[in-house]
Amino acid sequence: NAGVTQTPKFRVLKTGQSMTLLCAQDMNHEYMYWYRQDPGMGLRLIHYSVGEGTTAKGEVPDGYNVSRLKKQNFLLGLESAAPSQTSVYFCASNEAFGEQYFGPGTRLTVT
């Protein structure tokens, strides 16, 4: 099993550009999450999903959109990137009441 994978690993964007981060899991988990981590801080929840076709806002959802069209994929979109969105983005998934499995992260820089 590959576990949780994230694409891309690194990306540099100019202010105002858009992009989509892809998270994929092969463990048939219902729950999926997108977090961001800024230097010296813990992870903060952006959006999450409790099943295919559902999404919900987390702690810091502004400036991001998500979609869960397939159970195994969770997409995070930035419509108009801002320097404040420079961060490391982590995806995670879990089955009900189970441990969360995290991806390796995507390092995004917005100039």
Partner 1 sequence: DAKTTQPNSMESNEEEPVHLPCNHSTISGTDYIHWYRQLPSQGPEYVIHGLTSNVNNRMASLAIAEDRKSSTLILHRATLRDAAVYYCILRDTNFGNEKLTFGTGTRLTIIP
C-alpha span between 10 and 76 (Å, rounded): 15
C-alpha span between 111 and 105 (Å, rounded): 19
| DSSP code of residue 53 | T
Looking only at Cα atoms, what is the longest distance across the chain?
Answer: 40
- Residue from the set 45, 65, 71, 86 that interacts with partner 1 by CB under 8 A: 45
Closest CA to 34 of 96, 107, 102: 102
Under the binding rule (CB under 8 A), the answer on residue 69 touching partner 1 is: no
Please identify, among the stretches 13-21, 60-68, 69-77, 98-106, the one whose residues bind partner 1 according to the rule CB under 8 A: 98-106
Strands 87-94 and 101-102: antiparallel
Please identify, among the stretches 14-22, 62-70, 74-82, 90-98, the one whose residues bind partner 1 according to the rule CB under 8 A: 90-98
- Residue from the set 43, 52, 60, 86 that interacts with partner 1 by CB under 8 A: 43
Under the binding rule (CB under 8 A), the answer on residue 22 touching partner 1 is: no
Contact set with partner 1 (CB under 8 A): 4, 31, 33, 35, 40-45, 48, 50, 58-59, 90, 92, 94, 96-97, 99-105
